[in-house]
Structure 1
């Protein structure tokens, strides 16, 4: 007998927009990206979450807001 578990994570960018301020590393413009994340088990959605991520447009670093 063999059991196969199929798990999948789907990330979809919902929108992007400019954010106020400048990158502390290079001084570039900061973009805000709204991401919809969905975990699936055997094609059934288990968990869904919306996240907001910040990143620099010049050096492409992901920035963390405290």
Structure 2
């Protein structure tokens, strides 16, 4: 008996907007991107998630927010 898992994940950009603050690495401007990720199993959509990612416009690093 064998088990084969066929699946993939796709991301699509929904929009961009300015974000407050600056990049801690190069002090460039930061943009906020809304991204829709979709997981498919055997070509059938299983899960949709909408995330907000922060990216520096100068050095293109993805920034992570930490809250306490």
C-alpha deviations, 1:12-63, integer Å up to 9, x for none? 0000111011111111000101000000011111111000000100011110
- Structure 2 unaligned residues grouped into runs of 5+: none
- Structure 1 unaligned residues grouped into runs of 5+: none
Query: How far apart, in 1, do the equivalents of 2:13 and 2:52 lie?
Result: 10
Number of aligned residues: 66
- 4+ long deviations beyond 6 Å: none
TM-score (norm 2): 0.86
